[in-house]
Structure 1
Amino acid sequence: MALNKKGSRRIAVDGIEFRRRVRRKPFHMQGLCWTPMTYAVEATSGSQPGTTLIVTSGQAHPSNWVGIETKPIRPAHVAAGIREARDQGWDPTRVGSPFQLDRSAGFIAQP
């Protein structure tokens, strides 16, 4: 699965170029702040896309419907997530199902 180039941002981690993207509209559960925001990451090098990394963050989606203030996902957070996923066995060049990384420890769902 390839990420849309529109709306994505580039980041280099350990000499490898990646592209990350946060979905513009939150899913229903994210809009109500019942589940945390997710974002996708993929390597930009190579002739075909490899495995996509799906990171579950520990914060609410910025476009949530209940008015909870959030902080943006900073490049340092993305880089740390990429490194953690690679330590857990994610290979961005291998084709396959998306790799899930849960970094949502400490997320408190809103009632």
Structure 2
Amino acid sequence: MSMGSEENPGVGSWDLDPFEELRRLWRAINDGSHIGVPHIVGRASVVNGKVSGLEMSVILYETEKEYSFRDGDDVYFMLPARPEDGIEGIYVRLNRLLGGAQ
């Protein structure tokens, strides 16, 4: 299990637009922040530093939690999605988390 690292540059490239997925989730992230801490949970296919598949949804927790683990080419993850970080900030955290998954 990896907790992410500021030293990790993240994954090398994406075969899809992660911002499109994050924009799709933005309302749930923003609305959820009024009743709990929104988190993105999902699965990404990462091969040789390249993301080729991504599934994400939003859940709420009382506190921030961040986890990731690799199973073959799939990385399963959960990370806090703070509205104040904006879509770009959430993308940076996601990219680092996927690049550091063990």
- TM-score category (smaller protein): 0.3 to 0.5
Q: TM-score, normalised by structure 1?
A: 0.35
Q: TM-score, normalised by structure 2?
A: 0.37
**Going by fraction, where is strand more abundant, 1 or 2?**
2
* Bigger radius of gyration among the two: 1
Of the two structures, which has the highest relative contact order with CA contacts closer than 8 Å and spacing of 6 or more?
A: 2
**Going by fraction, where is helix more abundant, 1 or 2?**
2
